[in-house]
Amino acid sequence: MRYLHTMIRAANLEQTLHFFVDQLGLVEAYRYENEAGRFTLVFLSAPADLDNAKTQQAPLVEITYNWDPETYEGGRNFGHLAYQVDDIYHTCQQLLDRGVTLNRPPRDGRMAFIKSPDGISIELLQAGPALAEAEPWSSMANQGSW
């Protein structure tokens, strides 16, 4: 058995792709549109995984957009996605610079949380050991929730 992808539903495909591609930095591996079923599937990959993602040999995020309007509540979308990053502080600063809100800043040098426009939590984890605490992040001890 191997992990293939995580599917989340998007209420607004353009807004969701803007978040995942333009702000978070994922890349589109491939797309599938089904007129009869009235839906679009967009498969996204971390940039380092793109070559393997195109052959479904790397984890993917499947963005499902149903053409007919629908409200997603509770468990209809998903809990969270997790991505490993090389420098949690640098990554979070880039996200802030792009207008993304940090729901849980990386105050411990190890972990942060952000949310997509559809309310999906995304966990960012420092690769390897936690980085040393650094300002202004460490003074954010009581800010945010995930």
- Among residues 33, 123, 133, 135, the one annotated as catalytic is 123
Rg, C-alpha atoms of the chain:
16
CB 88 within 8 A of CB 81: no
Closest by CA to 105, choosing from 128, 129, 82, 89, is 89
28 classed as catalytic: no
CA–CA distance, 42 with 116 (Å, rounded to integer): 15
CA–CA distance, 122 with 59 (Å, rounded to integer): 15
Token pair listed for 94: 């880039």
What is the sign, positive or negative, of the torsion defined by CA atoms of 49, 14, 24, 118?
A: negative
Residue whose pair of structure tokens reads 């960012």 in the numeric block: 124
Q: Which residues are catalytic, by number?
A: 123
